[in-house]
A and B are shown apart, each in its own frame.
Chain A
Protein backbone atom coordinates (compact mmCIF):
# COMPACT_ATOMS: atom_id res chain seq x y z
CA UNK A 1 0.00 0.00 0.00
CA UNK A 2 1.38 3.42 -0.89
CA UNK A 3 1.31 6.25 1.71
CA UNK A 4 -1.77 8.47 1.73
CA UNK A 5 -3.21 11.50 3.50
CA UNK A 6 -6.43 11.17 5.44
CA UNK A 7 -9.15 13.82 5.80
CA UNK A 8 -12.56 13.74 7.41
CA UNK A 9 -14.65 16.73 6.20
CA UNK A 10 -17.81 17.85 8.05
CA UNK A 11 -20.21 17.94 5.16
CA UNK A 12 -20.86 16.60 1.67
CA UNK A 13 -19.81 19.72 -0.29
CA UNK A 14 -16.56 19.75 1.68
CA UNK A 15 -15.92 16.14 0.70
CA UNK A 16 -16.59 16.85 -2.97
CA UNK A 17 -14.32 19.91 -2.89
CA UNK A 18 -11.47 17.76 -1.58
CA UNK A 19 -11.80 14.88 -4.05
CA UNK A 20 -12.99 16.52 -7.28
CA UNK A 21 -9.81 18.49 -8.13
CA UNK A 22 -7.43 15.61 -7.34
CA UNK A 23 -7.40 12.55 -9.61
CA UNK A 24 -5.39 10.72 -6.94
CA UNK A 25 -8.06 11.23 -4.24
CA UNK A 26 -10.84 8.81 -3.28
CA UNK A 27 -13.83 8.75 -0.96
CA UNK A 28 -13.61 6.20 1.85
CA UNK A 29 -16.73 4.74 3.43
CA UNK A 30 -16.68 1.33 5.17
CA UNK A 31 -13.41 0.55 3.40
CA UNK A 32 -14.29 -3.12 2.92
CA UNK A 33 -13.68 -2.93 -0.82
CA UNK A 34 -11.31 0.03 -1.17
CA UNK A 35 -8.89 -0.89 1.63
CA UNK A 36 -8.77 -4.46 0.34
CA UNK A 37 -7.88 -3.19 -3.14
CA UNK A 38 -5.29 -0.79 -1.74
CA UNK A 39 -3.69 -3.68 0.11
CA UNK A 40 -3.65 -5.70 -3.13
CA UNK A 41 -1.94 -2.76 -4.84
CA UNK A 42 -4.71 -2.32 -7.41
CA UNK A 43 -6.06 0.95 -5.97
CA UNK A 44 -3.50 3.64 -5.15
CA UNK A 45 -5.16 6.80 -3.83
CA UNK A 46 -2.85 9.34 -2.20
CA UNK A 47 -5.68 11.11 -0.40
CA UNK A 48 -8.55 9.35 1.38
CA UNK A 49 -11.58 11.48 2.21
CA UNK A 50 -13.66 9.76 4.87
CA UNK A 51 -17.40 10.07 4.14
CA UNK A 52 -18.52 7.33 6.52
CA UNK A 53 -19.61 9.78 9.22
CA UNK A 54 -21.18 12.47 7.06
CA UNK A 55 -24.70 13.37 8.19
CA UNK A 56 -26.39 11.33 5.42
CA UNK A 57 -26.77 8.28 7.65
CA UNK A 58 -30.54 8.15 8.10
CA UNK A 59 -33.52 6.28 6.63
CA UNK A 60 -36.40 8.71 6.07
CA UNK A 61 -39.90 8.60 4.67
CA UNK A 62 -40.41 10.85 1.62
CA UNK A 63 -43.56 12.96 1.07
CA UNK A 64 -44.51 10.79 -1.95
CA UNK A 65 -44.57 7.67 0.24
CA UNK A 66 -41.12 6.51 -0.79
CA UNK A 67 -38.05 6.12 1.39
CA UNK A 68 -34.70 7.93 1.31
CA UNK A 69 -31.70 5.87 2.36
CA UNK A 70 -28.61 7.91 3.23
CA UNK A 71 -25.36 6.91 1.53
CA UNK A 72 -23.63 6.29 4.87
CA UNK A 73 -26.33 3.96 6.24
CA UNK A 74 -24.62 0.67 7.05
CA UNK A 75 -25.84 -2.42 5.20
CA UNK A 76 -26.73 -4.11 8.51
CA UNK A 77 -28.82 -1.16 9.69
CA UNK A 78 -30.67 -0.94 6.38
CA UNK A 79 -31.46 -4.66 6.50
CA UNK A 80 -32.73 -4.33 10.08
CA UNK A 81 -34.96 -1.30 9.48
CA UNK A 82 -38.65 -2.28 10.03
CA UNK A 83 -39.69 0.02 7.18
CA UNK A 84 -37.45 -1.85 4.75
CA UNK A 85 -38.31 -5.32 6.05
CA UNK A 86 -42.04 -4.72 5.74
CA UNK A 87 -42.29 -2.60 2.59
CA UNK A 88 -39.28 -3.77 0.56
CA UNK A 89 -38.51 -7.32 1.77
CA UNK A 90 -36.47 -8.07 -1.39
CA UNK A 91 -34.03 -5.33 -0.36
CA UNK A 92 -33.65 -6.56 3.22
CA UNK A 93 -33.23 -10.12 1.94
CA UNK A 94 -30.62 -9.07 -0.64
CA UNK A 95 -28.60 -7.22 2.01
CA UNK A 96 -28.75 -10.19 4.38
CA UNK A 97 -27.49 -12.47 1.61
CA UNK A 98 -24.36 -10.36 1.07
CA UNK A 99 -20.90 -10.70 2.64
CA UNK A 100 -20.83 -11.46 6.41
CA UNK A 101 -22.43 -9.80 9.44
CA UNK A 102 -19.09 -8.18 10.40
CA UNK A 103 -18.66 -6.75 6.90
CA UNK A 104 -22.27 -5.57 6.72
CA UNK A 105 -21.68 -3.63 9.95
CA UNK A 106 -19.02 -1.65 8.08
CA UNK A 107 -20.30 -1.56 4.49
CA UNK A 108 -22.40 1.45 3.46
CA UNK A 109 -25.12 2.05 0.87
CA UNK A 110 -22.85 4.23 -1.26
CA UNK A 111 -19.82 1.96 -0.97
CA UNK A 112 -21.84 -1.14 -1.76
CA UNK A 113 -23.06 0.43 -5.03
CA UNK A 114 -19.53 1.49 -5.93
CA UNK A 115 -17.67 -1.68 -5.02
CA UNK A 116 -15.78 -2.57 -8.16
CA UNK A 117 -17.28 -4.73 -10.87
CA UNK A 118 -14.56 -7.33 -10.80
CA UNK A 119 -13.23 -10.85 -11.06
CA UNK A 120 -10.37 -12.81 -9.49
CA UNK A 121 -7.97 -11.75 -12.26
CA UNK A 122 -8.77 -8.09 -11.64
CA UNK A 123 -7.63 -8.60 -8.05
CA UNK A 124 -4.40 -10.34 -9.09
CA UNK A 125 -2.03 -7.62 -10.28
CA UNK A 126 0.22 -10.17 -12.03
CA UNK A 127 -2.38 -11.06 -14.71
CA UNK A 128 -3.59 -9.15 -17.78
CA UNK A 129 -6.93 -7.40 -17.18
CA UNK A 130 -8.53 -4.72 -19.34
CA UNK A 131 -10.41 -3.33 -16.37
CA UNK A 132 -7.28 -2.85 -14.30
CA UNK A 133 -4.88 -1.97 -17.14
CA UNK A 134 -6.84 -0.92 -20.26
CA UNK A 135 -5.58 -2.70 -23.36
CA UNK A 136 -3.73 -5.45 -21.51
CA UNK A 137 -6.25 -8.16 -22.41
CA UNK A 138 -8.79 -10.21 -20.49
CA UNK A 139 -7.45 -13.25 -18.65
CA UNK A 140 -10.91 -14.66 -18.03
CA UNK A 141 -11.91 -15.23 -21.66
CA UNK A 142 -9.60 -18.24 -22.06
CA UNK A 143 -9.17 -18.81 -18.34
CA UNK A 144 -11.36 -19.53 -15.34
CA UNK A 145 -14.71 -17.90 -15.98
CA UNK A 146 -17.20 -19.93 -14.01
CA UNK A 147 -18.37 -16.80 -12.19
CA UNK A 148 -18.52 -14.50 -15.19
CA UNK A 149 -21.17 -12.81 -17.32
CA UNK A 150 -23.62 -14.46 -19.71
CA UNK A 151 -25.48 -11.28 -20.71
CA UNK A 152 -24.27 -7.94 -22.09
CA UNK A 153 -20.54 -8.74 -21.98
CA UNK A 154 -17.93 -7.65 -24.52
CA UNK A 155 -14.64 -9.12 -25.73
CA UNK A 156 -13.02 -6.60 -23.45
CA UNK A 157 -14.46 -7.79 -20.15
CA UNK A 158 -16.80 -10.48 -18.88
CA UNK A 159 -16.81 -9.61 -15.17
CA UNK A 160 -20.03 -9.30 -13.15
CA UNK A 161 -21.11 -6.69 -10.63
CA UNK A 162 -20.99 -8.54 -7.30
CA UNK A 163 -23.51 -6.57 -5.22
CA UNK A 164 -26.68 -8.25 -3.96
CA UNK A 165 -28.17 -4.97 -2.70
CA UNK A 166 -27.85 -3.37 -6.13
CA UNK A 167 -29.94 -6.11 -7.75
CA UNK A 168 -32.88 -5.35 -5.45
CA UNK A 169 -32.42 -1.58 -5.94
CA UNK A 170 -32.51 -2.13 -9.71
CA UNK A 171 -35.73 -4.14 -9.54
CA UNK A 172 -37.24 -1.43 -7.33
CA UNK A 173 -36.39 1.42 -9.76
CA UNK A 174 -34.43 3.20 -7.05
CA UNK A 175 -32.89 6.60 -7.82
CA UNK A 176 -29.31 7.44 -6.86
CA UNK A 177 -28.75 11.00 -5.62
CA UNK A 178 -25.33 12.37 -6.51
CA UNK A 179 -23.51 15.56 -5.55
CA UNK A 180 -20.79 16.90 -7.82
CA UNK A 181 -18.90 20.15 -8.32
CA UNK A 182 -21.73 21.37 -10.57
CA UNK A 183 -24.51 20.50 -8.10
CA UNK A 184 -26.92 17.64 -7.58
CA UNK A 185 -28.20 15.11 -10.07
CA UNK A 186 -30.31 11.99 -9.89
CA UNK A 187 -29.36 8.80 -11.72
CA UNK A 188 -31.83 5.91 -12.04
CA UNK A 189 -30.36 2.63 -10.76
CA UNK A 190 -31.09 1.07 -14.15
CA UNK A 191 -28.63 3.52 -15.73
CA UNK A 192 -26.10 3.76 -12.92
CA UNK A 193 -23.82 0.82 -13.75
CA UNK A 194 -22.41 0.38 -17.26
CA UNK A 195 -21.96 -2.54 -19.62
CA UNK A 196 -18.26 -3.07 -20.41
CA UNK A 197 -18.29 -2.33 -24.17
CA UNK A 198 -15.01 -0.76 -25.26
CA UNK A 199 -14.34 0.80 -21.87
CA UNK A 200 -14.41 -1.91 -19.22
CA UNK A 201 -12.35 0.26 -16.87
CA UNK A 202 -15.52 2.27 -16.16
CA UNK A 203 -18.02 0.49 -13.90
CA UNK A 204 -20.57 3.30 -13.58
CA UNK A 205 -21.64 6.61 -15.14
CA UNK A 206 -20.29 8.63 -12.19
CA UNK A 207 -17.53 11.17 -12.82
CA UNK A 208 -14.52 11.44 -10.55
CA UNK A 209 -15.40 13.51 -7.49
CA UNK A 210 -19.13 12.83 -7.61
CA UNK A 211 -20.45 11.78 -4.21
CA UNK A 212 -23.48 9.57 -3.63
CA UNK A 213 -25.57 11.22 -0.91
CA UNK A 214 -28.65 8.98 -0.87
CA UNK A 215 -30.70 6.36 -2.66
CA UNK A 216 -34.45 6.97 -3.02
CA UNK A 217 -36.90 4.07 -3.07
CA UNK A 218 -40.18 4.78 -4.88
CA UNK A 219 -43.47 4.05 -3.08
CA UNK A 220 -44.02 0.74 -4.85
CA UNK A 221 -46.95 -1.01 -3.13
CA UNK A 222 -46.32 -4.33 -4.85
CA UNK A 223 -42.82 -4.46 -3.33
CA UNK A 224 -44.40 -5.50 -0.01
CA UNK A 225 -44.66 -8.91 -1.65
CA UNK A 226 -41.20 -9.36 -3.08
CA UNK A 227 -38.28 -11.72 -2.72
CA UNK A 228 -34.57 -12.18 -3.31
CA UNK A 229 -33.07 -15.54 -4.11
CA UNK A 230 -29.32 -16.10 -4.29
CA UNK A 231 -27.74 -19.24 -5.73
CA UNK A 232 -24.14 -19.76 -4.63
CA UNK A 233 -21.50 -22.41 -4.08
CA UNK A 234 -22.03 -22.66 -0.33
CA UNK A 235 -24.95 -21.84 1.93
CA UNK A 236 -23.56 -18.54 3.19
CA UNK A 237 -20.76 -15.98 2.81
CA UNK A 238 -20.16 -16.38 -0.93
CA UNK A 239 -20.84 -14.26 -3.98
CA UNK A 240 -23.79 -15.14 -6.21
CA UNK A 241 -23.51 -17.44 -9.17
CA UNK A 242 -26.97 -16.17 -10.06
CA UNK A 243 -29.51 -14.17 -8.10
CA UNK A 244 -33.04 -12.92 -8.65
CA UNK A 245 -34.93 -10.01 -7.11
CA UNK A 246 -38.62 -9.97 -7.94
CA UNK A 247 -42.00 -8.53 -7.01
CA UNK A 248 -45.26 -9.84 -8.41
CA UNK A 249 -48.78 -8.50 -8.44
CA UNK A 250 -51.50 -10.98 -9.45
CA UNK A 251 -55.25 -10.47 -9.72
CA UNK A 252 -57.76 -13.21 -10.61
CA UNK A 253 -54.98 -15.47 -11.81
CA UNK A 254 -53.50 -12.86 -14.16
CA UNK A 255 -50.22 -10.98 -13.67
CA UNK A 256 -51.00 -7.28 -13.28
CA UNK A 257 -47.40 -6.16 -12.84
CA UNK A 258 -43.96 -7.58 -12.19
CA UNK A 259 -40.46 -6.38 -11.32
CA UNK A 260 -37.52 -8.66 -11.99
CA UNK A 261 -33.75 -8.11 -11.85
CA UNK A 262 -30.87 -10.57 -12.04
CA UNK A 263 -27.48 -10.62 -10.34
CA UNK A 264 -24.33 -12.56 -11.17
CA UNK A 265 -25.05 -12.57 -14.89
CA UNK A 266 -23.76 -9.24 -16.20
CA UNK A 267 -21.39 -6.31 -15.76
CA UNK A 268 -24.27 -4.52 -14.07
CA UNK A 269 -27.36 -5.55 -12.13
CA UNK A 270 -29.58 -6.82 -14.94
CA UNK A 271 -33.13 -5.48 -15.11
CA UNK A 272 -35.22 -8.18 -16.79
CA UNK A 273 -37.29 -5.84 -18.95
CA UNK A 274 -38.28 -8.53 -21.44
CA UNK A 275 -39.41 -10.93 -18.74
CA UNK A 276 -41.48 -8.19 -17.14
CA UNK A 277 -43.09 -7.40 -20.49
CA UNK A 278 -43.92 -11.06 -21.08
CA UNK A 279 -45.38 -11.41 -17.60
CA UNK A 280 -47.75 -8.43 -17.68
CA UNK A 281 -51.19 -9.70 -18.66
CA UNK A 282 -50.07 -13.33 -18.75
CA UNK A 283 -51.70 -16.05 -16.67
CA UNK A 284 -49.89 -16.57 -13.38
CA UNK A 285 -48.76 -20.08 -14.23
CA UNK A 286 -45.43 -21.83 -14.17
CA UNK A 287 -45.51 -22.14 -17.97
CA UNK A 288 -45.89 -18.40 -18.34
CA UNK A 289 -43.11 -17.78 -15.81
CA UNK A 290 -40.82 -20.10 -17.77
CA UNK A 291 -41.68 -18.38 -21.06
CA UNK A 292 -40.88 -15.01 -19.50
CA UNK A 293 -37.55 -16.24 -18.17
CA UNK A 294 -36.68 -17.76 -21.55
CA UNK A 295 -37.50 -14.48 -23.28
CA UNK A 296 -35.09 -12.68 -20.98
CA UNK A 297 -32.29 -15.16 -21.54
CA UNK A 298 -32.73 -15.52 -25.32
CA UNK A 299 -29.68 -13.30 -25.91
CA UNK A 300 -27.46 -15.01 -23.34
CA UNK A 301 -23.96 -15.73 -24.70
CA UNK A 302 -22.28 -17.94 -22.14
CA UNK A 303 -18.62 -18.95 -22.19
CA UNK A 304 -17.67 -22.65 -22.13
CA UNK A 305 -17.15 -22.58 -18.37
CA UNK A 306 -20.35 -20.83 -17.34
CA UNK A 307 -23.05 -22.19 -19.65
CA UNK A 308 -24.73 -23.64 -16.55
CA UNK A 309 -25.71 -20.11 -15.54
CA UNK A 310 -28.36 -19.85 -18.25
CA UNK A 311 -30.59 -22.70 -17.02
CA UNK A 312 -29.70 -21.74 -13.45
CA UNK A 313 -30.94 -18.19 -13.99
CA UNK A 314 -34.08 -19.45 -15.71
CA UNK A 315 -34.88 -21.91 -12.94
CA UNK A 316 -34.18 -19.33 -10.23
CA UNK A 317 -36.52 -16.82 -11.91
CA UNK A 318 -39.27 -19.41 -12.26
CA UNK A 319 -38.87 -20.54 -8.65
CA UNK A 320 -39.05 -17.01 -7.25
CA UNK A 321 -42.13 -16.12 -9.31
CA UNK A 322 -43.81 -19.39 -8.37
CA UNK A 323 -43.14 -18.80 -4.65
CA UNK A 324 -44.38 -15.21 -4.83
CA UNK A 325 -47.52 -16.36 -6.63
CA UNK A 326 -48.11 -19.04 -4.00
CA UNK A 327 -47.99 -16.32 -1.34
CA UNK A 328 -44.59 -17.25 0.06
CA UNK A 329 -42.29 -14.46 1.16
CA UNK A 330 -38.82 -15.44 0.03
Chain B
Protein backbone atom coordinates (compact mmCIF):
# COMPACT_ATOMS: atom_id res chain seq x y z
CA UNK B 1 0.00 0.00 0.00
CA UNK B 2 1.18 3.54 -0.74
CA UNK B 3 1.41 6.31 1.84
CA UNK B 4 2.63 9.88 1.68
CA UNK B 5 4.61 11.26 4.59
CA UNK B 6 6.92 14.17 5.32
CA UNK B 7 10.21 13.69 7.11
CA UNK B 8 12.51 16.43 8.28
CA UNK B 9 15.89 15.01 7.29
CA UNK B 10 19.03 16.79 8.47
CA UNK B 11 17.05 20.02 8.71
CA UNK B 12 15.25 19.79 5.36
CA UNK B 13 11.54 19.04 4.79
CA UNK B 14 11.34 15.95 2.56
CA UNK B 15 7.87 14.81 1.46
CA UNK B 16 7.92 11.27 0.10
CA UNK B 17 5.45 8.66 -1.17
CA UNK B 18 6.36 5.14 -0.26
CA UNK B 19 5.12 1.59 0.19
CA UNK B 20 4.08 0.96 3.82
CA UNK B 21 6.67 -1.83 3.93
CA UNK B 22 9.57 0.62 3.58
CA UNK B 23 11.85 0.96 6.60
CA UNK B 24 13.09 4.39 7.60
CA UNK B 25 16.55 3.22 6.52
CA UNK B 26 15.37 2.30 3.01
CA UNK B 27 13.31 5.50 2.78
CA UNK B 28 16.42 7.54 3.52
CA UNK B 29 18.78 5.61 1.26
CA UNK B 30 16.63 4.41 -1.62
CA UNK B 31 13.97 7.10 -1.84
CA UNK B 32 15.66 10.27 -0.56
CA UNK B 33 19.27 9.63 -1.57
CA UNK B 34 20.54 10.13 1.98
CA UNK B 35 23.27 7.51 2.10
CA UNK B 36 24.95 8.32 5.42
CA UNK B 37 23.14 5.60 7.41
CA UNK B 38 24.33 2.14 6.38
CA UNK B 39 22.64 -1.25 6.15
CA UNK B 40 24.60 -3.92 7.98
CA UNK B 41 22.16 -6.60 9.05
CA UNK B 42 18.62 -5.21 8.54
CA UNK B 43 17.64 -7.00 11.78
CA UNK B 44 18.50 -4.56 14.56
CA UNK B 45 21.67 -6.44 15.41
CA UNK B 46 24.56 -4.22 14.30
CA UNK B 47 23.75 -0.52 14.73
CA UNK B 48 25.11 0.58 11.32
CA UNK B 49 21.72 2.15 10.51
CA UNK B 50 21.58 4.27 13.68
CA UNK B 51 20.09 7.76 13.26
CA UNK B 52 18.56 10.24 15.68
CA UNK B 53 14.76 10.47 15.48
CA UNK B 54 13.38 13.43 17.43
CA UNK B 55 16.69 13.48 19.28
CA UNK B 56 16.84 9.79 20.24
CA UNK B 57 19.12 7.20 18.71
CA UNK B 58 17.27 4.32 17.02
CA UNK B 59 17.96 1.49 14.57
CA UNK B 60 16.30 2.78 11.42
CA UNK B 61 16.15 -0.68 9.80
CA UNK B 62 13.37 -1.90 12.14
CA UNK B 63 11.41 1.33 12.09
CA UNK B 64 8.70 1.56 9.43
CA UNK B 65 8.91 4.92 7.69
CA UNK B 66 5.11 5.25 7.57
CA UNK B 67 5.05 5.45 11.39
CA UNK B 68 7.37 8.48 11.36
CA UNK B 69 5.30 11.08 9.48
CA UNK B 70 6.43 14.50 10.74
CA UNK B 71 9.49 13.20 12.55
CA UNK B 72 12.83 14.97 12.61
CA UNK B 73 15.63 12.65 11.49
CA UNK B 74 19.32 13.44 11.90
CA UNK B 75 21.88 11.27 10.11
CA UNK B 76 25.65 11.39 10.35
CA UNK B 77 25.59 13.79 7.38
CA UNK B 78 23.59 16.36 9.35
CA UNK B 79 25.15 15.71 12.73
CA UNK B 80 27.35 18.79 12.50
CA UNK B 81 24.35 20.97 13.34
CA UNK B 82 23.71 19.05 16.60
CA UNK B 83 25.30 19.65 19.98
CA UNK B 84 28.55 17.66 20.11
CA UNK B 85 28.09 16.54 16.50
CA UNK B 86 31.09 18.36 15.12
CA UNK B 87 33.42 17.55 18.06
CA UNK B 88 32.45 13.87 17.69
CA UNK B 89 33.21 13.80 13.98
CA UNK B 90 36.53 15.60 14.63
CA UNK B 91 37.46 13.21 17.46
CA UNK B 92 36.78 10.13 15.28
CA UNK B 93 39.20 11.58 12.72
CA UNK B 94 41.83 12.57 15.28
CA UNK B 95 41.77 9.15 16.96
CA UNK B 96 41.39 7.01 13.84
CA UNK B 97 38.06 5.77 15.15
CA UNK B 98 37.52 3.52 12.11
CA UNK B 99 39.19 1.43 9.46
CA UNK B 100 36.80 0.77 6.55
CA UNK B 101 34.36 3.36 7.87
CA UNK B 102 31.19 1.36 7.23
CA UNK B 103 30.01 1.39 10.84
CA UNK B 104 31.13 4.96 11.45
CA UNK B 105 27.98 6.93 10.53
CA UNK B 106 26.07 4.72 12.98
CA UNK B 107 28.78 5.02 15.61
CA UNK B 108 28.80 8.84 15.60
CA UNK B 109 25.00 9.12 15.67
CA UNK B 110 24.89 6.57 18.47
CA UNK B 111 27.58 8.46 20.39
CA UNK B 112 25.62 11.71 20.05
CA UNK B 113 22.47 10.03 21.37
CA UNK B 114 24.45 8.34 24.12
CA UNK B 115 25.94 11.62 25.38
CA UNK B 116 22.46 13.11 25.47
CA UNK B 117 21.14 10.16 27.52
CA UNK B 118 24.09 10.44 29.90
CA UNK B 119 23.46 14.15 30.40
CA UNK B 120 19.83 13.35 31.20
CA UNK B 121 21.14 11.08 33.99
CA UNK B 122 20.36 7.68 32.47
CA UNK B 123 22.05 4.68 34.09
CA UNK B 124 23.44 1.68 32.21
CA UNK B 125 23.90 -2.04 32.74
CA UNK B 126 27.33 -1.44 34.34
CA UNK B 127 26.22 1.37 36.67
CA UNK B 128 26.84 0.10 40.21
CA UNK B 129 24.31 2.34 41.95
CA UNK B 130 21.12 2.78 39.95
CA UNK B 131 19.84 5.47 42.30
CA UNK B 132 22.87 7.70 41.73
CA UNK B 133 22.06 11.14 40.32
CA UNK B 134 25.40 11.53 38.63
CA UNK B 135 27.15 8.76 36.75
CA UNK B 136 30.66 9.52 35.46
CA UNK B 137 31.24 8.26 31.91
CA UNK B 138 34.28 6.07 32.52
CA UNK B 139 35.53 3.59 29.92
CA UNK B 140 33.30 0.77 31.14
CA UNK B 141 30.25 3.02 30.91
CA UNK B 142 31.12 4.21 27.40
CA UNK B 143 31.75 0.66 26.19
CA UNK B 144 28.45 -0.62 27.56
CA UNK B 145 26.47 2.35 26.26
CA UNK B 146 28.00 1.88 22.79
CA UNK B 147 27.50 -1.90 22.71
CA UNK B 148 24.64 -1.58 20.22
CA UNK B 149 27.14 -0.61 17.51
CA UNK B 150 29.33 -3.38 16.18
CA UNK B 151 32.54 -2.68 14.28
CA UNK B 152 33.61 -5.49 11.97
CA UNK B 153 37.11 -3.94 11.72
CA UNK B 154 37.51 -3.95 15.49
CA UNK B 155 38.33 -0.26 15.79
CA UNK B 156 36.88 -0.27 19.30
CA UNK B 157 39.91 1.10 21.22
CA UNK B 158 40.03 4.16 18.98
CA UNK B 159 36.26 4.62 18.95
CA UNK B 160 36.43 4.58 22.74
CA UNK B 161 39.27 7.12 22.75
CA UNK B 162 37.32 9.44 20.44
CA UNK B 163 34.17 9.34 22.54
CA UNK B 164 36.13 9.64 25.79
CA UNK B 165 37.60 12.89 24.54
CA UNK B 166 34.19 14.41 23.78
CA UNK B 167 32.56 13.02 26.93
CA UNK B 168 35.08 14.80 29.16
Question: Contact mask A48-74 → B, CB, 8 Å, 1/0?
Answer: 101010000000000000000000000
Q: Is the CB of A100 within 8 A of B130?
A: no
Inter-subunit contact A6/B66 (CB<8 Å): yes
B1 pairs with A4, CB closer than 8 A: yes
Q: Taking the complex as formed, is B14 at the interface, i.e. its CB lies under 8 A from any CB of chain A?
A: no
Give 30 CB contacts A-B under 8 Å: A3-B19, A4-B1, A8-B67, A28-B64, A30-B62, A31-B64, A35-B63, A35-B64, A36-B44, A39-B43, A80-B123, A85-B131, A86-B130, A93-B130, A96-B125, A100-B47, A100-B59, A101-B114, A102-B44, A102-B110, A103-B44, A103-B62, A103-B148, A105-B56, A105-B57, A106-B58, A106-B63, A235-B144, A236-B144, A330-B130
Question: In the assembled complex, how far is the CB of residue B90 from the closest CB belonging to chain A, in whole angstroms?
Answer: 23
- Pairwise interchain contact B148-A102, C-beta atoms closer than 8 A: yes
Q: Which A residues lie within 8 Å of B62 (CB)?
A: 30-32, 35-36, 103, 106
User: Cβ of A105 and Cβ of B58 under 8 Å apart?
Assistant: yes
Chain B 1-39 near chain A by CB (<8 Å), digits 1 or 0:
101000000000000000111010000000000000000
- Does B120 interact with chain A (Cβ within 8 Å)? yes
Q: Which residues of B contact A105 (CB under 8 A)?
A: 56-58, 113
Given A100-B59, A235-B147, A237-B148, 15 other A-B contacts at CB below 8 A?
A3-B20, A6-B64, A8-B67, A31-B63, A31-B67, A32-B62, A35-B62, A36-B62, A80-B117, A80-B121, A80-B123, A97-B125, A102-B50, A105-B57, A106-B62
State whether A4 and B20 are in contact (beta carbons under 8 Å apart), knowing that A80-B122, A101-B110 are contacts in the complex: yes
> On chain B, which size bracket covers the interface?
35 or more
In the complex, per-residue mask of B101-120: 1 if CB is within 8 Å of any chain A CB, else 0:
00000000010011001001
Measured in the bound complex, the distance between the Cα atoms of B148 and A76 in whole Å is 13
Min CB distance A145 to B, Å, is 21
Assess whether B96 is interfacial by the CB under 8 Å rule. Answer: no
In order of increasing CB-CB distance, the 4 nearest A-B pairs are: A100-B148, A236-B147, A85-B130, A96-B125
Q: B residues within 8 A CB of A236?
A: 125, 143-144, 147
Report how far A329 CA is from B126 CA in the complex, Å. Answer: 12
Instruction: Name the contact of B1 in the complex, choosing from A3, A31, A79, A93 (C-beta under 8 A).
Output: A3
Contact of A5 among B20, B64, B67, B147 (CB under 8 A): B20
Residue of A50, A80, A102 most packed against chain B (CB within 10 A): A102
Closest Cβ neighbor of A90 among chain B residues: B130
- Pick the contact of A52: B59, B67, B148 (CB < 8 A): B67
B158 contacts chain A at the CB level, 8 A cutoff: no
B72 at the interface (CB under 8 A from A): no
B residues with CB within 8 A of A: 1, 3, 19-21, 23, 42-44, 47, 50, 56-59, 62-64, 66-67, 110, 113-114, 117, 120-125, 127-131, 143-145, 147-149
Give the shortest distance, in Å, between A245 (CB) and chain B (any CB): 14
Chain A nearest CB from B55 CB (Å) reads 10
Distance A330 CA – B126 CA, assembled complex (angstroms) = 10
How far is the CB of A272 from the nearest CB of chain B, in Å? 23
The chain A residue with its CB closest to the CB of B43 is A36
Give Cα A105 to B149, complex, Å: 14
- Contact status A76-B59, CB under 8 Å: no
Chain B residues with Cβ below 8 Å from A209 are none
Given A35-B64, A52-B67, A102-B59, check contact A92 B21 (CB 8 Å).
Answer: no
- Whether, in the assembled complex, A269 has its beta carbon less than 8 Å from a beta carbon of chain B, the answer is no
Residues of B within 8 A of A8 (CB): 67
Inter-subunit contact B147/A102 (CB<8 Å): no
What's the minimum C-beta distance from B167 to chain A, rounded to whole angstroms?
A: 15
Contact of B120 among A30, A80, A100, A329 (CB under 8 A): A80
Interface contact B113-A101, CB-CB below 8 Å: yes
Contact indicator A100/B147 (Cβ below 8 Å): yes
In the complex, the chain A residue whose C-beta lies closest to that of B150 is A237
Residues of B within 8 A of A106 (CB): 58-59, 62-63
Contact A89 B130 (CB under 8 A): yes
Measured CB to CB, the closest approach of chain B to A50, in angstroms, equals 6
Q: Per-position contact with B for A145-173: 1 when CB-CB < 8 Å, else 0? A: 00000000000000000000000000000
Contact among B20, B21, B58, B129 for A102, CB-based, below 8 A: B58
**Quick check: is A221 within 8 A (CB to CB) of the other chain?**
no
A186 within 8 A of B: no
- Contact flag A48-B121 (CB < 8 Å), given A28-B67, A36-B43, A100-B147: no
| Interface status of A1 (Cβ within 8 A of chain B) | yes
Are B47 and A102 in touch, CB under 8 angstroms?
yes
Whether A101 lies near B117 (C-beta < 8 A) is yes
Known: A80-B120, A101-B57. A4 touches B21 (CB 8 A): yes
